[in-house]
Chains A and B, each alone.
Chain A
Amino acid sequence: MSERLEYELDVNGETLPVRARPEATLLEVLRDELALTGTKRGCNQGVCGACTVLLDGEAVRGCLTLAANVGTRAVTTIEGLATNGALSPVQRAMVESGAIQCGFCTPGMIVTLESFLRANPKPTAEEVREGISGNLCRCSGYVKIVEAALIAAGGKP
């Protein structure tokens, strides 16, 4: 119905062409235009956090970000965290701690933790809980997620 805008996005270190409606959110563009379906849609209202991605390293809601408004800021998604096939410390800790159940909150949770731990490399458990307070998980009660974060940070769970 709307005409399409054409622009570029810097996603996971790669410049990618986009052709999308002006009102398309970053979440829609990532999933539908760029086939990066790791970022999830849970509520489309910014509450659940399943759509969390990084913009210039800071966690934001993909569903509340207009893709056309991203500009030259670097987008990092769950697909951009592993290096050469090796899981990042957060990814590995989440896998090994039993912190992943259904897995739907997992991409948003991991992206949030990556950014959080970069800003706060040696957090307390309470700080981790505060850091993930915007990511809903219906399966786990968050306990093992916090344990995984502390392990990734090199501390004791």
Chain B
Amino acid sequence: MSAFVEPLGQSLPRLEAPDKAVGSARFIDDHVLPGMLHAAIAQSPHAHARIVSYDVGKAKALPGVRAIVTGADLQVRRVGGMLKDETMLAVGKVRYVGEPVAAVAARDPETAALAAQLIEVTYEALPAVLSIDAALDPAAPLIHPDFASYVRTMEGNSRGNLIWDSELAEGDVDGAWRHCDEIVEAVYETQAQQHAYLETNGVIAEPEQNGRLRLIATCQSVHHVQIRVSEELGIPMSRIRVQVPRVGGGFGGKHATNIHSIAAWLARATGKPVKLILSRAMDMEIQKSRHPARIRIKTGAKRDGQIVAREAEITLDGGAFADESPNVLAFAMLMARGPYRIPNARIRGRAVYTNKLRAGSFRGFGNPQATFAGESQIDELAQRLGLDPFDLRLENAMQPGDRWIGGQTIPSCQIAECLRRVRDAQRKAKPLPPPKPGRKRGIGVASVTHISGLMGTSASVQLRTDGTVALNTGCVDIGQGSDTAMTQLCASALKLPVERIAYATQDTDFSPYNWKTAGSRSTYMTGRAVVAASGVVHEKILEHAAEMLECAVADLELRPGGRVGLVGVPGKELTFKDVALRSQFRAGGPIQGFNGLVFDGPRFDPKRALVARLAFDNLGAYAFGAQCAEVDVDEVTGKIEVLRVWSAHDVGKAVNFGSCEGQIQGGVAQGLGYALYEEMVWDDDGRLANPSFADYKIPGSLDLPAEIVPIVIEDPDPTGPFGAKGVGEISLVGVAPAIANAVAAATGARLRRLPMTPERVIAALEGPG
């Protein structure tokens, strides 16, 4: 028997990596069911129009077509996040080019696609609202004229095309400006980014026995899909089962959407399994984007660098449906003050409807936008004050025990350490060869903060009669490695080798509830449930062993490799199998442990902060980081080449060290695309102009620095499982401002709009200062 290696912290290969490496891992499109039909979607050609009539005659007559559904066939049930404004297909009017208006199920994908094209819809075009300013114009056409009738879980002061309107403030901002020696104010703008997971969204729906429906969906939560389909189709949740295969990336773009209900509807109509896999173009046209943002931000400081006040107005373009706009807005506002001891801050936020694709959750969730503005401005302030950008940040950095805006106390805070570590790493790094002629070099830094934790989760652990363990959670692995991390946590808690733990897939029929894989919350939240449930099993093992060994529970200890023995007496021990058998046959049942929790941290403190209509008020463990980019700017072509990036994050405790590094590197890559060239572009008619990888470019190997250096700092969070926090999103958040700051340092040109394309760089280099 080989020596037990403590699993916590090990860079274990992902459990499912061998399957992925030989091509046997099954993703949604790899599943084929007997008699399976294929679905296709018909889309709106207009950005804003009334639907006058449908004619499905030609489509229906096509041989091989089995079912068609249009908005006219639906019983209208509006679904959504905090504001329920969406229907499964457009009903009454269309609100963006590409919006699904009908769907078809046919015997093969080509027939389905042809049938979708043959569906004739007559429209009466309406004037389209295609920008934030157009949306806010008092004379603007209303995108949701029936808004007042929509169900809301909270009032958001919505009116006209304004989805939501919030305010967050502490101290006395208006009075603070006169105490500032320097004030900088500017407007920053960011673009719509697409998740561009390599695997597009897709689902299979199949009528099961007992009148139930089974769905297999590439998704970020089986429970969430179940809830949505139930709501959207008016079917009890007891009649819907959702399973998940291997997921090819999510990044916030694979939460429940109308495609799950569409497939379910067609499966019920035909009595057959129906597969709906979105093409890349359709995925980009109908799923969601990151919120484009306009942020006016103002920061003031004293001559010595002490930052006194910050004010920001954040306006998000939410697209045609509210989706998670109130939440993204709230989070952007919460992050806008940054990890600094700024006593006076006022953040106002608005999200608006436009006749474009809805914006929603995407890794970072409003934080990349807010941080681009805030961290760019810190450097502009540093320049005005004549201070080094690192020093200005360090001078104002939050300390453990400080309180975040709104009042939550931050028990562990490593922002200063992260800043020092990236600064030192950059200084100590081997100097690169000098820039080629025409290029200028600069380094830039950004502080980052993010949160892990939110909502509810649970886990169950069972000791089987052979001494192995069954671990069961509702946490979906979207590629970020949660299957492996949960297994490592359980293994560590029970001192078992990872091979002795069987981690179940997620299925609403038997998985304990989990909200979603989102918000950097899986390790922190589900991990806590796993450790606690393992703890229950641990206790029961000791109780049984105490009876078997005729001693007190306090005299016993778990030993590595699945054993329990008497402290100080190496020979006196039992195996887990011994204990499990005893439990099963003597007591009558297996040893099991269960734990469920809802995030239980402190809420906003109304005595401290003005909090008006903020979509959440208790969040999670705060994690901090700093990112430093070394950059060459080609002043002739405007191209920015990122040479090296250092990304330091306090993760509390790295459950799987290699996974942690991989997440950090991947987040930097996605942040670099956001910073430099990823942009969804709409033409003047509201049509998405670049719904393909040919025209929406994401970074390839040669577009990224060879060195993306993760610096993992472990300062245990008192509430996390073995001290762990999340790291899923934070490494994306600071890349854009770090690069913008490097560009400014290199050339003197300040870019305030993303992405920083060569064209914009040249304009900034030539522009008026």
Contact = CB atoms under 8 A, between A and B. Distances in A.
B197 A79 contact: no
Contacts of A16: none
B478 A81 contact: no
Contact of A102 (B247, B669, B694): B247
A154 interface: no
Given A79-B22, A102-B479, A95 B17 contact: yes
Given A42-B199, A138-B197, A103 B25 contact: yes
B698 A136 contact: yes
Contacts of A94: 17, 21
B36 to A, nearest CB: 11
B361 interface: no
Contact of B29 (A37, A77, A91, A92): A37
A50 B30 CA distance: 14
B248 A102 contact: yes
Given A45-B280, A141-B668, A142-B669, A91 B21 contact: yes
Contacts of A87: 18, 21-22
A98 B658 contact: yes
Contacts of A91: 18, 21-22
A38 B24 contact: yes
B21 A100 contact: yes
Interface string A34-46: 0111111111110
Nearest to A101: B479
Q: What's the interface size class on A, roughly?
A: 35 or more
A15 interface: no
A98 B478 contact: no
B584 interface: no
Main secondary structure of the interface of A (DSSP, over half): loop
Contacts of B669: 138, 140-142
A56 to B, nearest CB: 20
Contact of A141 (B23, B666, B693): B666
Given A38-B23, A100-B17, A133 B700 contact: yes
Given A87-B21, A103-B17, A138-B249, A130 B702 contact: yes
A143 B665 contact: yes
A132 B478 contact: no
Given A98-B11, A138-B670, A138-B698, A105 B198 contact: yes
B666 A44 contact: no
A43, A135, A138: residue with the most chain B Cβ atoms closer than 10 Å: A138
8 tightest A-B CB contacts, nearest first: A38-B23, A102-B479, A104-B248, A103-B20, A98-B658, A141-B665, A141-B669, A78-B23
27 contacts: A1-B110, A35-B32, A37-B29, A37-B30, A41-B29, A79-B24, A81-B22, A98-B11, A98-B661, A100-B21, A101-B249, A101-B479, A102-B479, A103-B25, A103-B248, A104-B27, A104-B198, A129-B701, A135-B700, A138-B249, A138-B251, A139-B479, A140-B662, A141-B668, A141-B704, A143-B708, A144-B661
Given A43-B280, A94-B21, A133-B700, 10 more contacts: A40-B27, A44-B280, A77-B23, A98-B661, A134-B700, A138-B198, A138-B251, A141-B666, A143-B665, A143-B706
Interface of A: 1, 31, 35-45, 47-48, 50, 77-79, 81-82, 87, 91-92, 94-107, 110, 125-126, 129-130, 132-146
